[in-house]
Each structure stands twice: as structure tokens, then as C-alpha cells.
Amino acid sequence: MSIVSRRLLTGLVAGTGLALSVGAGIASAQTPQQAIQFRKGSMQVQSWHMRTLVQMLKGQRPFDAAVYLRAANALEAMAVTTAEGFIPGSETGETRTLPEAFKDAAGFRAAVERFQGEAKKAVAAARSGDEKAMRAQVPELIKSCDGCHERFRSK
């Protein structure tokens, strides 16, 4: 291992601290600051892929099943990992997450699971090659984003 990469690794390990906290049932040793950055970044990535799907739905770009599948796959993966960013201690700071997301852990988890379920259905639709099903799933995905934002995100 080079000196540079060893230094980088040492820096990363030191930055994580030793505390093991549990947020939304997921263990994390990352700091609240890192968690906030991660969840915002994840949301931005989700937004990118949703825009691709919405643009196809609206005819703003050609409908392409392969592109749809790629976006759906990415969303399915994001739906699994984004929730890791909501750890205890990350209620305050540069965040729009409402305290409710931490108080009502079951409600928040349900919103996460809804998103996971809709993303899975989008992947299944893409794999089936049924364009009608693919199109119909886009509004369902949007509802799973909005449903969570309405309850757990400030304006």
C-alpha cells in the first residue's frame, strides 16, 4: 500500500469515530454530518434517475426500455441504502428532515419500504418489456417519493 493510500485510509477510519448508533434499524458508525451529506446526495441521485423516467413518460426524450431498466435498477439500489443516512444525532444541522422521521421510526420505515416496493415493481416492469406497465409505474414511484416528503421533510 502506498503512503498516500495508507494516510487516506487512516484519515477515513479516524473520521468515523467509535460510536455505533442505530438509525431506522440500521447500524452506522458514521458521523451525523456524514449521514446528512449522504442522504442529501442519495436523494439527488434518485432525483436524477426519476427525471430520466419522467422525461420518457412525457415524451421529452425517446422511450428506451434499456435506459428505463438502468434507472429503475439504480432506484432500487438507492431505495435500500438511502435510509442508512437517517441516524440518531442527525436531526439537527443543515437538514430538512423533520424530527417526526426519528420519532415515528415505524412510519418512516413504512415510507422507505413503499419506495423499495415501487422501485422493485419498476425493475420488474422493465424486465417484462411491457412499455405500458413501465409507463404506469412512473407515477407510482413519484407517489412514493412525495408521500415521504409530505410527512417527513420540511418545505
Contact 153/96 with Cβ under 8 angstroms?
yes
**Applying CB under 6 A, does 43 fall inside the site for ligand HEC?**
yes
CA atoms within 13 A on the CB side of 141: 30
**Applying CB under 6 A, does 120 fall inside the site for ligand HEC?**
no
Separation of first and last alpha carbons in the chain:
47
**Applying CB under 6 A, does 52 fall inside the site for ligand HEC?**
no
- Closest C-alpha among 101, 128, 107, 89 to residue 43: 101
Using left for φ > 0, alpha for ψ between -120 and 50, and beta otherwise, residue 92 falls in beta
**Applying CB under 6 A, does 150 fall inside the site for ligand HEC?**
no
Supply the Cα-derived Rg of the chain in whole angstroms.
18
Number of residues that bind ligand HEC (CB under 6 A): 24
**Applying CB under 6 A, does 101 fall inside the site for ligand HEC?**
yes
Residue window 54-73: x/- pattern of binding to ligand HEC, with contact defined by CB under 6 A: --------------------
Q: Write out the residues near ligand HEC by the rule CB under 6 A.
A: 36, 39-40, 43-44, 46-47, 50, 75, 95-97, 101, 108, 111-112, 115, 141, 144-145, 148-149, 152-153
